[in-house]
């Protein structure tokens, strides 16, 4: 069961490393979803329709029962423009979205 996840405004800066924590992930029965052995991917795309979907292949995942943290390398976002982005945390094998939401990516001052 996909969980809408809020990533607070002002914490993700283009070109900076970030750890994105996803919690409260449950299966269709409402039980905590064990993510320890599931291959995960994080996809992000601009909220305005550019037709481009970016996959963060270098994200490392720390995971457990009902949670995971995606550790994103800042080099993957260095050339991103500030703005709103949609993201999806997926089971890589099935393509099923586990968590999703919108985040504002900004530039460091």
Per-residue pLDDT tens for 87-108?
889 898 988 889 999 888 898 7
pLDDT digits 0-9 by tens, 5-39: 878 888 888 899 989 889 888 888 888 888 898 89
CATH code that applies to domain 3-105? 2.60.40.10
- Under the banding of pLDDT at 50, 70 and 90, the label for residue 53 is low
CB–CB of 15/78 below 8 Å? yes
- Give the Cα separation of 34 and 29 in Å (integer): 13
Residue 2, pLDDT score:
77
Domain boundaries along the sequence of the chain: 3-105
pLDDT digits 0-9 by tens, 60-89: 889 888 899 999 888 888 888 888 888 889
pTM exceeds cut of 0.85: no
């Amino acid at each position: 069961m996909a969980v809408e996840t809020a990533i607070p405004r002002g914490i993700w800066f283009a070109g900076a490393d970030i750890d994105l924590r996803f919690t409260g992930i449950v299966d269709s029965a409402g039980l905590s979803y064990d993510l320890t052995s599931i291959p995960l991917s994080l996809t992000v795309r601009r909220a305005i329709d550019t037709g481009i979907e970016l996959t963060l292949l270098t994200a490392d995942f720390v995971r457990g029962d009902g949670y995971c943290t995606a550790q994103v390398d800042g080099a993957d976002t260095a050339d991103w423009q500030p703005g709103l982005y949609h993201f999806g945390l997926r089971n890589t094998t099935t393509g099923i979205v586990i968590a999703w939401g919108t985040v504002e990516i900004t530039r460091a001052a």
